[in-house]
Structure 1
Amino acid sequence: MLHSKFGAGLRSLAIAFPSILRTNDHFRSAHPDMVAHAEQFSLAKVWGKGEAAAAAPTAFDLTMAPYLADPFRGAAERRLRAPGEPALAMELRAARGALDAAGITAKDVDLTLVSSFVGDRFGVGNAAYLAKELQLRAPAINFETACSSSVVGLQLAASLIASGAYGRVLVVVSTSNSVQVVDDDSLGWFVGDGAGALLVERSSAEGFGVLGWKTINSIETNDMFVIHSVPERARRTRLCTSANENAGAMARNTAEPYLRACVDGALSMASASVRDVDFWVFNTPNAWYADFCARVLGVEQGRYHSVYPRYANIGAALMPATLYHALHEGRIHPGNLVGLYSVGSTSTASALIMRIGNVALGPYPERPDEKGTFPCFDRASV
């Protein structure tokens, strides 16, 4: 049996989503001309068939090809924050869900690591505000590495526990893409919002927990997507994400090298092979990314899945959401070896190998209706 180098593993996991469900029918109704001429707009320019791809298609191009006829590039549903609904609301639901599932309270947590992309305030992240609402007395620290924050947060938590500095670490991540896009820009069609919380503690069984990891920087994708602050009305600004004109090429050219470097490094550290891994959790910044990863690594159907059609691109929340549904649906069992991989532009790519124990799950996420009715959101609780 493989032996844990860190002696720390996942105790519980919870996910949470904001108030609004938006399907493709909304865009067909609100912006029919844009949908009809989708190839002229941002999303198709990012995820489209470039000249280089046509001449020598890569694994990325081959797995993307079936989605090019779809103006939404494989996105079907996405969850969005309602006006006035903060990222903190979904972070709190996820954090409380993970604590309740583990049967502990906030006073039992030794450290909280929080990644809010983006936070509810300029200049500071949500960690201190989450700590106040949960009545945490232990340190709460902000960190951020874009879409890789969950995988890196899990590795950081396991490493800190192994060092003896902390016994139990709560990792909370959220992504709020909807506040960075506008409804009439097709770039907003493939993104959503979500949050996840992972409770990490020392493994009680030998050979369980985090076994290996590898994180690299993703500087070749710097400014692939850029967030601007733009005027909205008198004394008001809003965030707006735009795509680099070379964004598609950046993704295409780096996807396989990043994947191989991270997965090979994590497997080597864990003294394991791709075939030893029972189930893979790939983050899915687009509809074909899990299939791309599986194709490159030689992973068969049934040893991975994707939640992209259900949530679209929810950044750092993709890993906890994908892992949650795999556990909930019985795709992963106690004792399984699980591989995680994530990639984030202008940040890092990261892989992690762990042997799963009995992971307690938070509440199954409720599905709102198209009108945004979602009883979980209560402003008075934030």
Structure 2
Amino acid sequence: MPDKEISNDFWLQNYPQTVKTAEQNNWMWKSGDVPDRCLNEFEAEMAPYMQDPFRGAKFRRFLPPDEKLITLEKKAAAEAIELANLSPDDIDLVLCATFPPDEAVIGNASLIAADIGSKGDAWNIESACSGWAVAFITAHRLIQSGQYQSILVVASCGYSKTVDLASPLSWGVGDAAAACVIVSDNESTELMGTHGVHTGHTYGAVRFDLEPVDGKIYRRLRVGKSAREHLGATMGKIFEACVNSALQQSEVALEDIKFCLFSSPLAWYPAYCVRYLGLDYDKTLNTYPLYGNIGPVLPAVNLYHALYERKVYEDDLILIYSVGSVSSCRAMVLRWGSVAVGQPPSRWKSADASCLLHDESSQTIFS
């Protein structure tokens, strides 16, 4: 994570009028959108957050304006290789999901490989907010095929570079990077089943525009007017189809799953997922209040928190689900093994990770 942590106080102090008028100008899910009687699981979990202008976000990490995502990626990659007791020469392939990439088009895979001193291959993988999940699964399948022996998977998100601080969009996004190493001689973590569905039908929900500012061109994150309708299409049936198929491939039942890790592009999304599946709230966690939406890094960060907070142990069955607009949604079932876990981000304490998920009064969520 970047060192710079920004709380809601930053906007309350520097953009008070923006916060005050957020209800009139917010891009979707205004308080008036929630009926007195909630119609579905999504609205039921969303309703408590409508009294908070920040919609459940408390903190987020932003890179300095002159720093690129690759600085975070290199740090994560170096620590993952060290934890795996490998040298850069042992890495056969680097899979990288940088979103959005530092350059206009090209991702950072080859730059990371060169920086760490790997003599192997390097690929960029793009599936928006499902980038880490797709890269992770690809690495496992390539290892299983025997084509590679050691693969470094890196994912990062730099949303702060794409938002204007004067816009409410900046409240719910952040920057982060994560890395892991998958090797052929360690079969303790098993990818048992996975299923994905494309989300091409959500085209227009989220996009990047090019905008000139002071003689420079910047990418700006935009959310379409029909975002709520489009994003709704990725919920429910697609979620259920991905989860059921992954479970069937794994030949396990939902009740066999020890812990679930759902992407949290919105504060209430993990709670919606467990509610939809009929699970208890303590079956998952929610890092949105700590980091906001960090895109493709969300599944990796959630998994890290679950391991660090001792929610997941060796030999546990876990379910991971990622959602992405105009890319893919994907579920996977893993039997977790003996895996070394890196150090937590700077200024991060275990007590800070009492990840908020469900509070009937909403007083804790919005304190």
What is the TM-score normalised by the length of structure 2?
Answer: 0.91
Does 1:249 pair with 2:229? yes
Match of 1:290 in 2: 270
Matches within 5 A, 1:79-158: 79-158=61-140
The structural deviation recorded for 1:49 is 5.3
Range moving further from structure 2, 338-347 or 216-225 = 216-225
Tell whether the 8 Å contact from 1:266 to 1:351 is kept in structure 2 after alignment: yes
Distance of aligned partners of 1:213 and 1:53 in 2 relative to their CA distance in 1, 3 Å threshold = farther
Query: What CA deviation, in whole Å up to 9, does each residue of 1:155-201 have, x standing for no partner?
Result: 11111111111112111000100011000010111010111112112
Taking the aligned partners of 1:40 and 1:81, their CA distance within structure 2 comes to 29
Cα separation, 2, equivalents of 1:204 and 1:254: 35
Residue 39 of structure 1 corresponds to 23
Contact residue 191 and residue 312 of structure 1 kept, 8 A: yes
Distance 1:273 1:184, change over 3 A: same
1:202 aligned residue: 184
1:248-303 per-residue CA deviation (whole Å, 9 max, x = no partner) reads 22223431122101111111110111111101110100100000000011221222
Across the two proteins, how many residue pairs are aligned to each other? 348
Corresponding residue of 1:373: none
Amino acid at match of 1:187: L
Q: What's the offset of the Cα at 1:203?
A: 5.9
Q: Deviations over 1:45-81 (max 9, x none)?
A: 3233576966862211111000001000000000011
Greater Cα shift, 187-196 or 120-129: 120-129
Correspondent of 2:55 among 73, 94, 110: 73
Structure 1's 101 and 37: CA in aligned 2 closer, same or farther, altered over 3 A? same
The one-letter code sitting in structure 2 at the alignment partner of 1:120 is D
Tell me, what secondary structure is at the counterpart of 1:299? coil
Match of 2:297 among 305, 317, 320: 317
Equivalence for 1:62: 44
8 Å CA contact retained: 2:97, 2:107: yes
Tell me what 1:261 maps to: 241
Distance 1:128 1:272, change over 3 A: same
Alignment counterpart, residue 275 of structure 1, candidates 252, 255, 269: 255
Describe the SS at the equivalent of 1:302: helix
Say if 2:34 and 2:43, in contact at 8 Å, map to a contact too: no
Residue of structure 2 equivalent to 1:30: 14
What are the within-5 Å matches in structure 2 for residues 169-180 of structure 1?
Answer: 169-180=151-162
Return the alpha-carbon distance in structure 2 between the equivalents of residues 266 and 365 of structure 1.
Answer: 32
Amino acid of the structure 2 residue aligned with 1:33: Q
**Residue 173 of structure 1 contacts residue 196 of structure 1 at CA under 8 Å; is this kept in 2?**
yes
Q: For 1:169 and 1:34, how far apart are their aligned partners in 2?
A: 45
Please tell me whether the aligned partners of residues 60 and 252 of structure 1 are also in contact (alpha carbons under 8 angstroms).
no
Q: Relative contact order, CA 8 A, sep 6+: which one is greater?
A: 1
Taking the aligned partners of 1:54 and 1:258, their CA distance within structure 2 comes to 27
Inter-CA distance 339–179: structure 2 relative to 1 (3 Å threshold): same
Q: What is the identity, as a one-letter code, of the residue corresponding to 2:205? A: M
Distance 1:71 1:349 in 2: 28
Alpha carbons 1:100, 1:362 under 8 Å: kept: no
Task: Report deviation, 1:95.
Answer: 0.7
Change (3 A) 1:346 1:205: closer
> Which deviations, in whole Å up to 9, do the C-alpha atoms of 1:91-132 show, x marking residues without a partner?
011111111111112111111100111111123111111111
Match of 1:337 among 292, 296, 317: 317
TM-score normalized with structure 1 length: 0.88
When residues 352 and 320 of structure 1 are mapped into structure 2, their CA distance, relative to the original with a 3 A threshold, is: same
- 2:105 and 2:263 map into 1 onto residues whose CA distance is 28
Q: Which residue of 1 aligns with 2:3?
A: 19
Q: In percent, how many aligned pairs have the same letter? A: 33
Residue in 2 that maps onto 1:228: 209
Secondary structure in 1 aligned to 2:247? helix
Q: Compared with structure 1, are the counterparts of its residues 47 and 100 closer, same or farther at alpha carbon in structure 2 (3 Å cutoff)?
A: farther
Whole-angstrom distance in 1 between the partners of 2:174 and 2:76: 16
Where structure 2 has 5 or more consecutive residues not aligned to the other structure, the ranges are 349-367
Partners of 1:297 and 1:337 in 2: CA distance:
16
Secondary structure, counterpart of 1:196 in structure 2: strand
Unmatched runs of 5 consecutive residues or more in structure 1 = 1-16, 369-382
